[in-house]
Amino acid sequence: MNDQAKQYQQLIAKCWADDAFKQRLLADPAGTLAAEGIDVPAGVSVTVAENTEQVFHLVIPARPSDLSDGVLDGVSSGLCSGGCIVPRP
Protein backbone atom coordinates (compact mmCIF):
# COMPACT_ATOMS: atom_id res chain seq x y z
CA MET A 1 0.00 0.00 0.00
CA ASN A 2 1.39 3.40 -0.95
CA ASP A 3 1.68 6.36 1.42
CA GLN A 4 -1.22 8.22 -0.19
CA ALA A 5 -3.56 5.24 0.27
CA LYS A 6 -2.44 4.93 3.91
CA GLN A 7 -3.10 8.63 4.52
CA TYR A 8 -6.54 8.28 2.97
CA GLN A 9 -7.41 5.29 5.16
CA GLN A 10 -6.22 7.12 8.28
CA LEU A 11 -8.27 10.18 7.30
CA ILE A 12 -11.44 8.10 6.85
CA ALA A 13 -10.86 6.29 10.16
CA LYS A 14 -10.44 9.63 11.92
CA CYS A 15 -13.71 10.88 10.37
CA TRP A 16 -15.51 7.79 11.64
CA ALA A 17 -14.06 8.17 15.14
CA ASP A 18 -14.29 11.96 15.50
CA ASP A 19 -17.44 13.71 14.25
CA ALA A 20 -16.00 17.18 14.96
CA PHE A 21 -13.02 16.37 12.74
CA LYS A 22 -15.35 15.10 10.00
CA GLN A 23 -17.33 18.35 10.17
CA ARG A 24 -14.11 20.42 9.88
CA LEU A 25 -13.04 18.35 6.87
CA LEU A 26 -16.43 18.87 5.20
CA ALA A 27 -16.37 22.62 5.92
CA ASP A 28 -12.70 23.34 5.12
CA PRO A 29 -11.12 20.46 3.20
CA ALA A 30 -7.83 22.12 2.21
CA GLY A 31 -7.23 23.67 5.65
CA THR A 32 -8.05 20.45 7.48
CA LEU A 33 -5.85 18.39 5.18
CA ALA A 34 -2.99 20.85 5.64
CA ALA A 35 -3.40 20.61 9.42
CA GLU A 36 -3.07 16.82 9.04
CA GLY A 37 0.17 17.20 7.08
CA ILE A 38 -1.39 16.45 3.70
CA ASP A 39 -0.27 18.96 1.09
CA VAL A 40 -2.79 20.33 -1.37
CA PRO A 41 -0.99 21.80 -4.39
CA ALA A 42 -1.59 25.47 -5.14
CA GLY A 43 -4.51 25.95 -7.52
CA VAL A 44 -6.09 22.61 -6.61
CA SER A 45 -9.60 22.67 -5.18
CA VAL A 46 -10.67 19.89 -2.80
CA THR A 47 -14.28 18.83 -2.36
CA VAL A 48 -15.31 16.40 0.37
CA ALA A 49 -18.64 14.59 0.17
CA GLU A 50 -20.07 12.03 2.55
CA ASN A 51 -21.95 8.98 1.32
CA THR A 52 -25.14 8.19 3.22
CA GLU A 53 -27.77 5.48 3.01
CA GLN A 54 -29.72 7.75 0.64
CA VAL A 55 -26.85 9.28 -1.39
CA PHE A 56 -23.87 7.64 -3.05
CA HIS A 57 -21.20 9.78 -4.72
CA LEU A 58 -19.50 8.30 -7.76
CA VAL A 59 -16.21 10.02 -8.51
CA ILE A 60 -15.01 9.96 -12.10
CA PRO A 61 -11.24 10.50 -12.08
CA ALA A 62 -9.65 12.83 -14.60
CA ARG A 63 -8.82 11.10 -17.87
CA PRO A 64 -5.14 10.13 -17.96
CA SER A 65 -3.41 12.04 -20.73
CA ASP A 66 -1.58 8.94 -21.97
CA LEU A 67 -4.65 6.83 -22.88
CA SER A 68 -5.33 6.46 -26.58
CA ASP A 69 -8.79 6.95 -28.05
CA GLY A 70 -8.63 3.35 -29.34
CA VAL A 71 -8.24 1.94 -25.85
CA LEU A 72 -11.12 4.07 -24.56
CA ASP A 73 -13.32 3.10 -27.52
CA GLY A 74 -12.74 -0.58 -26.74
CA VAL A 75 -13.74 -0.13 -23.13
CA SER A 76 -16.85 1.94 -23.91
CA SER A 77 -18.02 -0.49 -26.63
CA GLY A 78 -18.15 -3.36 -24.18
CA LEU A 79 -15.03 -5.16 -25.31
CA CYS A 80 -13.93 -5.02 -21.72
CA SER A 81 -16.62 -6.03 -19.27
CA GLY A 82 -16.38 -6.78 -15.59
CA GLY A 83 -13.20 -5.93 -13.71
CA CYS A 84 -10.95 -5.06 -16.59
CA ILE A 85 -7.73 -3.14 -16.46
CA VAL A 86 -7.11 -0.54 -19.15
CA PRO A 87 -3.67 -1.19 -20.63
CA ARG A 88 -1.19 1.63 -21.02
CA PRO A 89 -0.34 2.38 -24.65
**28 & 70 share domain:** no
**31 & 73 share domain:** no
**34 & 10 share domain:** yes
CA angle, residues 60, 5, 56, in degrees to nearest 5: 40
Residues 89, 87: Cα–Cα separation, whole Å: 6
21 burial (CB, 10 Å; 0-12 / 13-18 / 19+) is middle
- Output the pTM of the full model: 0.68
Residue 61's pLDDT is 86
Q: How many domains does the chain have?
A: 2
Residue 88's pLDDT is 45
**77 & 49 share domain:** no
**15 & 47 share domain:** yes
- What is the H or E stretch that residue 5 is in? helix 3-17
pLDDT digits (tens, 9 = 90+) for 3-59: 888 998 999 999 999 999 999 999 999 999 999 999 899 999 999 999 999 999 999
User: Residue 66 sits in which domain range?
Assistant: 61-89
Three-class SS state of 46: coil
pLDDT digits (tens, 9 = 90+) for 79-88: 554 555 544 4
